[in-house]
Structure 1
Amino acid sequence: MTSFRVAALQMRSAMDPAANLATFEALVREAAGSGAVYVQSPEMTGMLVRGREALFARIVPADQDPLVRRASELARELSVFVHVGSTAVLLDDGKVANRSFLFGAEGELITTYDKIHMFDVDLDNGESWRESATYAPGDQAVVADLPFMKLGLSICYDLRFPQLFRAQALAGAEVLAVPASFTRQTGEAHWHVLLRARAIENGAWVIAAAQGGKHEDGRETYGYTLIVDPWGRVVADAGNNEPGIVLAEIDPAASADARRKLPNLLNARDFALPAVPQAEITA
């Protein structure tokens, strides 16, 4: 296979996992019916629940999660690769992981990825988030070797840490997955430019399925699901925050071509930097 079709799902997940699962399934079926062989959903596909008590009343371990089970079944039934961008799963120690699941076209679990960087921020207008108060961060980067591409996995806030994507590109990733639920405030400012930057600096495709709109738990997410080519061109853009699918044709050879023209992965050099006292580094 040279070029192939991919789909990124835009959702507006609410607090009811069953309702979100129904929406997810309908969109996966639509994407597969449109010829996609790889389908990516956004961060927190299973539910978006801001309150800790409400979250713990709904989550279950991964091996009991209906979304995880159904994603595997859909992959097998439709013969597509299904990438659950992430969902919250209960860990053995009582903490929570923000975890991606990637299933092969026979329904097999290829890999998982736990979000590494926690969204602990204080934004304008009193918007504040502390993911580390609930979620356990991951500590392993992941590159999945699929039959038609090498895929680097990330989740949302990871986008702001270019060293993760550079490591994946150096490990051979031709496509970078960035499922997200960017806030409206940060998305309006940074979503398009950051995704294009990660594509350009790594000579890689970027597929970014997004949450969008006003959610049941009160938050607002930006939407604008994107697919960007290795030269930094936006080849598909949802253009709004409404639920739906975004489709594009991907040719992994475009990654090699971009890296041949601008071989910054090969041209990088080690360098020294005098130590800066920690007190001088501000948030």
Structure 2
Amino acid sequence: MKSFLAAALQCTSTPDPEANFAQIEELIDLAARRGAELVGLPENFAFLGAEDKRLELAPTLAERCSRFLVTMARRYQVAILGGGFPVPAGEAATFNRSELVSRDGQLLATYDKIHLFDVDLPDGNTYTESATIAAGSALPPVADLPGLCRVGLSICYDVRFPELYRHLAGAGAELLLVPAAFTAYTGKDHWQVLLQARAIENTSYVLAPAQTGLHYGRRQSHGHALVIDPWGTVLADAGVGPGVAIAPIDTDHLQRVRNQMPSLRHRRPALF
């Protein structure tokens, strides 16, 4: 293993897939030119719009997203996480799927989001993902990124469920991938705190690509794509505009932190 640069992209996706793909490629190009070997795309990177339009586009968009990830990986010679895109799941629903692709375009892992965001927020906004999104039925995988590290997949709202990340750490994850489209209202209070908690309690790196700004109607995302180290230190923050948070992932540093703070070894699961 070695130290390498990982980039968490931050964009403002809209209901226009063509514009979204163009924006994402510009950011991948930027990250690659800065030396990134792993690039994470946020949740809903290809489409963020009305539910009926998402259902209409899903059959073609799913295939396009998979092809796009392979093309970008090969073109820019980077491993890519496609942080979440719609895949048909019956007549009136989609899965929210992430795919991890190696730099040579090989599909390494897939994950369908298992926790769905059904909430009534104090700002008056209601979100009911389960109305048109089907929950995945399998825990997220841990995958080897050849020559880099072992990564664990997750998506957005999953970050509120620490047992999922304990599963990933137990399966050998060194870097936790948390692509998201966190709402502006919840993000200001919860986003960074939750990500730092997942990093600290699992002594793991966190790469958290993010959506930002106003997408359509009242739908607004928090931004602040982050890279966090196993001690909980924020290494990079993309702020509130489109851009890239990029920082080194150092597996030697990770091992030092795990030796100094061996909480994973001190667990007593037999008592729970």
TM-score band by shorter chain is over 0.9
Paired residues, number: 270
Residue 121 of structure 1 corresponds to which residue in structure 2? 119
Q: TM-score, normalised by structure 1?
A: 0.91
- Specify the code of the residue in structure 2 equivalent to 1:164: L
Contact 1:75 1:103 in 2 (8 A): yes
Residue 35 of structure 2 corresponds to which residue in structure 1? 35
By percentage of residues, which structure has more strand? 2
Q: Does 1:194 align with 2:194?
A: yes
Equivalences for 1:151-230 in 2 at 5 Å? 151-230=151-230
Contact 1:14 1:215 in 2 (8 A): yes
Cα distance in structure 1, aligned partners of 2:177 and 2:217: 26
- Specify the code of the residue in structure 2 equivalent to 1:130: T
Cα distance in structure 2, aligned partners of 1:226 and 1:267: 28
5+ residue gaps in structure 1? 274-283
Q: Residues 191-227 of structure 1: CA distance to partner in whole angstroms, max 9, x if unpaired?
A: 1111000000000000000000111243010001110
Q: TM-score, normalised by structure 2?
A: 0.95
Q: 138-147 or 33-42: which moved more?
A: 138-147
- Specify the code of the residue in structure 2 equivalent to 1:233: T
- Specify the code of the residue in structure 1 equivalent to 2:171: A
Cα distance in structure 2, aligned partners of 1:59 and 1:11: 20
**Matched residue of 1:197: which SS?**
helix
Q: Residues 161-219 of structure 1: CA distance to partner in whole angstroms, max 9, x if unpaired?
A: 00000011011100000000000110001111110000000000000000001112430
- CA-based RMSD: 1.5
Residue 67 of structure 1 corresponds to which residue in structure 2? 65
- Specify the code of the residue in structure 1 equivalent to 2:33: G
How much does 1:261 deviate?
1.4
How much does 1:232 deviate?
0.4
Cα distance in structure 2, aligned partners of 1:153 and 1:206: 11
Residue 251 of structure 1 corresponds to which residue in structure 2? 250
Cα distance in structure 2, aligned partners of 1:122 and 1:271: 37
Contact 1:153 1:178 in 2 (8 A): yes
How much does 1:58 deviate?
2.2
Q: 37-46 or 245-254: which moved more?
A: 245-254
Cα distance in structure 1, aligned partners of 2:257 and 2:87: 38
**Matched residue of 2:210: which SS?**
coil
Residue 3 of structure 1 corresponds to which residue in structure 2? 3
Contact 2:55 2:93 in 1 (8 A): no
Q: Does 1:58 align with 2:57?
A: yes
Cα distance in structure 1, aligned partners of 2:271 and 2:82: 40
How much does 1:82 deviate?
1.1
Q: 101-110 or 252-261: which moved more?
A: 252-261
